[in-house]
Every structure is written in C-alpha cells, then in structure tokens.
Amino acid sequence: MSQSKVCVLGLGYIGLPTAAILATNGFQVVGVDTNEDVVDTLNNGEVHIDEPGLRTMVQAGFNSGNLQARSEPEEADVFVIAVPTPLQGEEPDVSYIESAAVSISKYLKEGNLVINESTSPPKTTEETVRPILEESGLSAGKDFYLSYCPERVLPGSIMKELTENDRIIGGVNDESAQKAREVYEEFVEGDIYLTDATTAEFVKVMENTYRDVNIALANEIAGVSEELGVDAWEAIELANRHPRVDFLRPGPGVGGHCIPIDPWFIIDQAREETPLLQMSRDINDFQSERVVEMVEGMVEAVKEPKITILGVAYKGNVEDTRETPALSVLEKLEGSGYEVSVVDPHVKDFPYDLVNHEQAFRGSDCAVLLTDHEEFTEIQPDEMGELMHAEKILDTRNLLDHESWESAGFEVRRFGVSG
C-alpha cells in the first residue's frame, strides 16, 4: 500500500503526527486544514503543535517532498479524517466530520479508501459519513472502502505511541477493514485488530469513559480518606499492590479534549442506561469546587487573600489547556473576591496573565498546585516562603515532597489527606 497518495484532513494533535508518520513511511501525503494559519505555518517550515519528536518528523516529511500542506483536499488513493468532535453542551458536534466528508466526496474515485480517525459517537461512520460519501454515486464497501480507526495515543508521547500501540480497525465491511489494515501495517508495530465500524467507534469512547469513571472513583476515595483521617495516596498505593487492582489518582478535575468529552458520546446514545457515567462526570467536575473549599479554609482569616496558582495545563508536562479544571478553579476563586496569580512554564496563551514564580508567590496567602508539571518539584520552598504573606500550599496532585515544604515552615494540605 505504500507509495499511495494519502490526503489527511485535519492537521491537529492527531492529524499532523499521522501525516508526518505516513510521509516518512513511504506515502505521498497532502495534509489539509481549513485554518489558513496552520497551512501557512507548516509551509513556512514551522510546526504549531508542541509534541516531542513531531517537528523533526514534519520537517523530514516536507524536506523529502513527501509531505505538503494545503487548504483543500485533492484526488488521492486514501483519505484520512482527523478533525475535532467537540461537545455543544452535552451534545456531540459532528459538523467537522460532516464537512470533511463533503469535501472528500468531490474527489472520491473508485477504489479509494476513506478512514475516519476522529473520535465519533457510535454509528457516525455508518449513518453520517457513509451517506455523504455515497452522494458521489459510489457505494461504500463496493466502489470505495470506508473504515473507522481511532487513535489511543497519550498527548506528550504521541509519536512513540502512534507506532507502538495496537490499533482497532472497523470497516463498513470486511474488505474495507482489510484495505485500512494495509495502510496501518506500514507503520504500526503493535497488533492490528479488525471489527465493524460501529464497534470500533464504541471501543474508542469506552476506553476514555473507563478512565473518567476510575478517576471519579479515585476522587471519591480521596473524599472518604479525608473523613477517615487516612492518607488516600498511601491507601491507593497499597490497594494497587493487589494483582488485579489499579486505582487511578485523585486530582482537581478532569481536563483535556477527550476524557471529559467522550463519556457524553455514550450518555447521549443511552441516557437511561448510563447513571454511573453521568455521576462520574458530576464527581470529576465537582473537584474544582473542592479545591476552592479547601483554599477558603486555609485563608479564612485573611481579608482579600492573594492565591498563587501553580499550573493551568490540563495535565503535567503538556501545554494544552483544553477543558482544564484550572479555569473553573480560577473563576470560582475570583468569584469569591480572591486575587489570583498564575504560573505555568508550559502554557503559552491563557485567559489569565502568566507570571514568573517570584511575581506569583510575592505577597501570596496560599499557593495551589493544580498541574503536575515536573518543573514544580524544583521550586525551593524556603525561597518562596520568604516572598509569601503566609506559608501555605495545597497540593492537589501529591506531587511535592511535602516534608521539605513542612520543614521550610509551610502548612501543606493535600487532596485525600485531612487537615
């Protein structure tokens, strides 16, 4: 299948790495994005996504002539849809997938293969993508092939996981699944499993829903631990010694463009069948409230407190702030009349000013660690303590060496450990 021409629609966190990997594994790739800035950035030799190893691979693709960026699709052997599927409220929005399918159908030819990689509500490929493509007069599974193949890469190690992870491919028929396998086996080192399109769509959202429910369980365990006077982190560590137990970790809430979103793709299809998924979403969203309640308890004697926020990215060591729980923490703190100052060494733009450690800690009544960035473990508590009005810190990720902060004179609070 290599030497084929592939058109990748959507040059975001998944589309661009996929285009780059295909271009350095024998395919001629045209990357397409409706955002002119993205196309211009790439054609100027720049890369708009901060992901280890991505820039090198994109530039190798461009330098070899096997990767180009365009704002319109063109005729190809294979089309890959890798566009966003955000939520509108609690409803999945598949309009980006629809417009990608419409733009493909103009160029669709006999023998083509179309692969939808975008996280999709189950049945989207069969009931939304397929009819749009068949408006070309070609029939899916016969004149052209149509499959669904989700990614399962962890932001921060996308380039590695895109090749190493197993892939699930779901075809509208067996031949479509087989045709898609011929593409992925050119670069996937993991195992490739074939099924139908709807099962593959369901598997993807199940995986992230599994994680959301288990994060909610960890958050609930943290609340109970505080009631019991038990250290939740120690209890989870010990429970996970059981060969078949794997508790996740409490935190200030669930961010990112997937985990807080994907459960709604299942809830939306079967609201009455999903009380656990809905309750898990509520539990995880309530965590930001818990942060504010704990901070209020730590600064209750202070008039107009200043709060230092450490980290606004949705998780450690990434720059992405999509759906970050930090935003609701900040809005709630400001709503309570607190002054806030924000530090995040990874994030470039954010609705709040991003300052350096000294500016953030100076005159602060309490620091709150929301994101487990590695850099925060290097903060010197005694230096920061001298700048602060009161030496207090709430570590919602159990990241810091709390003994060294305590010996520097700090009152340290942690999620899952009573005060």
Residue closer to ligand SAJ by CB (options 203, 408) is 203
CA Rg value for the chain: 24
User: Min. distance of Cβ 148 from ligand SAJ in angstroms?
Assistant: 14
- Cβ neighbours of residue 127 under 8 Å, at least 6 residues apart? none
Residue closer to ligand SAJ by CB (options 128, 208) is 208
User: Min. distance of Cβ 154 from ligand SAJ in angstroms?
Assistant: 5
Residue 200 touches ligand SAJ, criterion: CB under 6 A: no
Residue closer to ligand SAJ by CB (options 174, 234) is 234
Locate tokens 């010990």: which residue? 238
Region from 87-95, 189-197, 211-219, 272-280 binding ligand SAJ, contact rule CB under 6 A: 211-219
Alpha-carbon distances, residue 16 vs 49, 57, 183 (angstroms): 9, 10, 16
Residue 248 touches ligand SAJ, criterion: CB under 6 A: yes
The rounded distance, in Å, linking the Cα atoms of 278 and 329 is 21
Enter the tokens of residue 7. 């058109």
Region from 33-41, 60-68, 208-216, 235-243 binding ligand SAJ, contact rule CB under 6 A: 208-216
| Burial of 88 (C-beta count, 10 Å sphere; 0-12/13-18/19+) | exposed
The rounded distance, in Å, linking the Cα atoms of 181 and 168 is 9
Region from 72-80, 172-180, 249-257, 385-393 binding ligand SAJ, contact rule CB under 6 A: 249-257
Residue 315 touches ligand SAJ, criterion: CB under 6 A: yes
Region from 3-11, 72-80, 147-155, 229-237 binding ligand SAJ, contact rule CB under 6 A: 147-155
| Burial of 272 (C-beta count, 10 Å sphere; 0-12/13-18/19+) | exposed
DSSP character string of 241-281: TSTT-------S---SSSTTTHHHHHHTT-GGG-HHHHHHH
Residue closer to ligand SAJ by CB (options 17, 171) is 17
Residue 188 touches ligand SAJ, criterion: CB under 6 A: no
Does the annotation mark 204 as catalytic? yes
Beta bridge partners of 114: 79, 146
Residue 155 touches ligand SAJ, criterion: CB under 6 A: yes
Residue 215 touches ligand SAJ, criterion: CB under 6 A: yes
User: Nearest Cα to 79, choosing from 105, 115, 40, 48?
Assistant: 115
Residue 251 touches ligand SAJ, criterion: CB under 6 A: yes
User: Min. distance of Cβ 398 from ligand SAJ in angstroms?
Assistant: 11
Among 50, 98, 207, 220, binds ligand SAJ (CB under 6 A): 207
What DSSP state is assigned to residue 343? Answer: E
Residue 256 touches ligand SAJ, criterion: CB under 6 A: yes
| Burial of 89 (C-beta count, 10 Å sphere; 0-12/13-18/19+) | exposed
Does the annotation mark 106 as catalytic? no
The backbone torsions φ and ψ at residue 97, rounded to the nearest 5 degrees and listed phi first, read -65, -45
Among 47, 100, 258, 310, binds ligand SAJ (CB under 6 A): 258
**Of these residues, 204, 306, 315, 392, which one is catalytic?**
204
Residue 346 touches ligand SAJ, criterion: CB under 6 A: no
What residues are annotated to the active site? 204, 258
Binding region for ligand SAJ (CB under 6 A): 151-155, 207-208, 211, 215, 218, 248-249, 251, 254-256, 258-259, 314-315
